[in-house]
Amino acid sequence: MSDKKVLEIMEEHVRNNEYKLLRLHMGVEKVVEISERTENVVQEMVDDVATLRTKVAHLEDDIDEVKKGQVSVGHVFRIAGMVVGAAISIAFTVFQILQ
């Protein structure tokens, strides 16, 4: 083979390798971009989980308060029953006195 033909073959190999290198570089850029987007999505998910944990904690606190409130309501009804019973007793006593 002539030197000119060898030179042409080498130049073609160089161009092919440059093209392959360019495609590889573009692929790496896409991988980096996808990785960054994935990282952003994962961070949003972590933030959402933290928000949900906070909401669950608040709901648990609210449930505890409602439970305590239910006990307080029970006490109120018990006291109200005692007051009504006392009022009936007083009314009955006054009725007997007036007779």
| 46-63 pLDDT, tens digit each | 888 888 888 888 888 888
Q: What is the pLDDT of residue 71?
A: 61
Mean of the pLDDT values across residues 74-97?
82
The structure's pTM equals 0.49
Residue 26 has pLDDT above 90, yes or no: yes
For residue 58, give Cα distances in angstroms to 52, 61, 63, 71.
10, 5, 9, 20
Residue 67 has pLDDT above 70, yes or no: yes
- Please state, in angstroms and rounded to a whole number, the distance separating the CA atoms of residues 15 and 21: 10
On average, the pLDDT of the chain sits at 85
